[in-house]
Every structure is written in structure tokens, then in C-alpha cells.
Amino acid sequence: MPEHVWLLPLKNLDDDSRAIKLGEIADLEVSGEQRMFVGDPLRMTLVGLAEESRHPFAIDSNGVAVGVLTLQAGAAAAAGWADDGSAWLLRGFLIDRRQQGKGLGTLAAGSAVPAAANLTAALGGGQAGVVLSVNELNPAGQAAYRKAGFEDHGQYLGGGAGPQRTMYRAF
């Protein structure tokens, strides 16, 4: 298992660096069974760059993007959380299918929590942690989130791909 991954905040990169990372993100692959759980990596990232409340990150390992994730303010209820403002929503999270099984997802999910805490400090939000929803038919995802310190907070039936588990980790 690798020792670390880097979360590169795409909104903070200069234009050339961002273009390089977007090219790498465009090359990420999603397996057939994952398509029901996640969207197109480049499209999700571009939406994140365009919206003020979203903060997309490239997940880097050994200097290349191996995945993406987005932290969004004011949207925690979309994961079954009681309110929108007390937690960052972790969304659009995926690891390239060729890189799966190496522990990168667990490392990235764990790294998203201090990244969210830094965003809260920089932007002055009132968030105290990170919430996500993971499909009940995705046991590998649930296990990776648990290993990264997220706790199950129950079932959420609002997801478009069937029943979800709401998971949360405080800063």
C-alpha cells in the first residue's frame, strides 16, 4: 500500500498546471459496474470548477492523477445529513479502475477530511466534518470509508442509484 496521496486543489493551480491535471483526469477509467455509482471524471471536475460551492481535487500518486474528488459546501443534505451547513459533502469521488485495490481510495478519503478543515478555516464556514453517501451495493467503498475513519450514520433513500449509507467523519 502506498504511504500517501496528494490532494491537489484544482482551483488553486495556475492555468498550465490545471490543464495538465485536467488532461490526466480525462484519461481516468471507470469500470462498467462503477458507472452506476459515479459519473464521468472530467465532467464532474469541470462542473466543480464552475461552481463556487464546489472544490474539486485531483488525487495524485507518484506525480500523476489517479482519481478525483470534490468537497462541496452547503450541500450535505444531498447525502442524507440533517442539514446543509454543518458538514462538507464529499462527492464525485473515484479512483481510476487500473489503480484500485492499492489503498488509494482509503488514503484519499482520509486526506479529504483535513482538506475540508483547511477550506473551513480559509473560507470561514461552520462545518465540523465531512459527510458522504455510498451505495449499499458498494461494499468495497463502504469498507474503504470505514478504514479512513468515517462512521455509518444510517440508511439514506434519496440517492438516484438506490439505497445509500450516510457516512461522516469529524475534523
Note the pLDDT tens digit of each residue in 13-38: 999 999 999 999 999 998 876 776 67
Confidence (pLDDT) at 137:
86
Kindly report the average pLDDT of the chain as a whole number.
93
Whether 2 has a pLDDT exceeding 70, the answer reads no
Note the pLDDT tens digit of each residue in 112-143: 999 999 999 999 989 999 999 998 988 888 99
pLDDT band, residue 162 (cuts 50/70/90)? confident
Whole-angstrom distance, CA of residue 19 vs CA of residue 117:
26
Whether 94 has a pLDDT exceeding 80, the answer reads yes
pTM (2 decimals)? 0.93
2 contact partners, CB below 8 Å, separation of at least 6: 61, 62, 102, 103, 104, 107
Confidence (pLDDT) at 140:
85
Whether 161 has a pLDDT exceeding 80, the answer reads no
Length of the chain: 171
Average pLDDT for 143-153: 96
Confidence (pLDDT) at 128:
98
Confidence (pLDDT) at 32:
73
Whether residue 127 contacts residue 87, with contact meaning beta carbons closer than 8 Å, is answered with yes
**3-state secondary structure (DSSP) of residue 157:** coil
Note the pLDDT tens digit of each residue in 39-49: 799 999 999 99
Confidence (pLDDT) at 123:
95
